């Protein structure tokens, strides 16, 4: 499968590099308004292919996205000093109103993977723009909480001393401050998380929950304080989503799409467990939530809905 990546800064280039290391796709085309940057990133990543997989990597323009099955949207403006979140959203929405039609003109059948932040609102913006060209919402997918879920599972696995693949625990709602750790549905080794903790002598008490919650919710802020931005984790997450599409895996992953209704809130993009295959989202798995989780997810949906509705798209 041919994969396009629009926006070749830290996130876009990390996604391309992760795809090469994982062997996702047969060809990757990098597009950026800074053509020199796109070319430099393509050359640098191409030089890693002898150590990984024989993926063809090149730079090009929007026309070179023709035939792509997946296009990652990692472009967008950076927040200016003193600029409000809404003002940044409006600027990025304007960027996407120009960018998305150009992508779809070249690759009308592509699944769009949205990486630009705030990713849930930008997913809703992309879905609105793409709908004007006949693209259904299930083909516009935000990375959402795919990374937050990985962080959640990784922290629990470290606590228990097991591999992260043995832990199943999801983060729902917003990729941001209002995200919801789905503790009531978490399992490890096929057991509810609390039962597994008792079995291995590492109980899941409120102190552990608070510690893990704070670590997941504050992970991006800690990384940003140290190096200015995050890119490797989300690059790996985007590669994983692209892999599920390229191989028609029908994998269950937490990601964001424009959802008809979530906890009573209509038409909002947020993350839930989704079945992901070659044509995008094939279904949503609505999880059982305890009352506190249900209320938290509704609040998360309300925050996202309010932000999206303020945009002039």
175 is annotated as an active-site residue: yes
**Cβ(131)–Cβ(269) below 8 Å:** no
The active-site residue, picked from 53, 175, 247, 288, is 175
Non-local (6+) Cβ contacts of 223 within 8 A are 229, 230
Q: Name residue, tokens 């209002």.
A: 178
Angle at 98 between CA 94 and CA 104, to 5 degrees: 135
What is the Cα–Cα distance from 233 to 33, expressed in whole angstroms? 24
Beta strands 111-114 and 171-172 are unpaired
What is the Cα–Cα distance from 290 to 261, expressed in whole angstroms? 19
What does the block give as tokens for 69?
């099955």
Among the residues of 52-205, which ranges form H helices? Answer: 85-106, 119-131, 146-160, 193-199
- As annotated, the active-site residues are 175
């Amino acid at each position: 499968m041919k994969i396009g990546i629009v926006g070749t800064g830290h996130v876009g280039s990390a996604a391309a590099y992760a795809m090469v290391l994982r062997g996702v796709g047969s060809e990757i085309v990098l597009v950026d308004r800074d053509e020199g940057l796109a070319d430099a990133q393509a050359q640098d990543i191409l030089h890693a292919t002898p150590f990984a997989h024989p993926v063809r990597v090149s730079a090009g323009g929007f026309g070179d996205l023709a035939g792509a099955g997946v296009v990652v949207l990692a472009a967008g403006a950076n927040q200016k000093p003193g600029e409000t979140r809404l003002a940044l959203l409006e600027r990025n929405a304007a960027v996407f109103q120009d960018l998305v039609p150009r992508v779809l003109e070249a690759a009308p059948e592509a699944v769009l993977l949205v990486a630009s932040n705030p990713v849930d609102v930008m997913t809703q913006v992309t879905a609105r723009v793409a709908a004007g060209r006949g693209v259904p919402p299930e083909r516009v997918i935000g990375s959402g909480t795919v990374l937050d879920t990985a962080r959640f599972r990784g922290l629990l696995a470290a606590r228990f001393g097991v591999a992260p693949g043995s832990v199943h625990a999801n983060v729902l709602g917003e990729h941001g401050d209002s995200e919801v750790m789905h503790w009531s549905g978490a399992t490890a080794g096929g057991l509810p998380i609390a039962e597994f903790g008792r079995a291995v002598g590492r109980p899941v008490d409120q102190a552990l929950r608070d510690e893990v919650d704070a670590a997941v919710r504050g992970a991006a802020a800690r990384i940003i304080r140290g190096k200015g931005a995050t890119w490797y984790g989300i690059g790996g997450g985007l590669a994983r989503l692209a892999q599920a599409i390229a191989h028609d895996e029908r994998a269950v992953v937490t990601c964001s799409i424009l959802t008809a209704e979530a906890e009573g809130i209509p038409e909002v993009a947020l993350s839930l467990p989704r079945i992901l295959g070659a044509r995008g989202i094939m279904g949503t798995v609505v999880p059982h939530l305890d009352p506190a989780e249900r209320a938290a997810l509704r609040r998360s949906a309300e925050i996202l809905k309010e932000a999206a509705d303020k945009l002039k798209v």
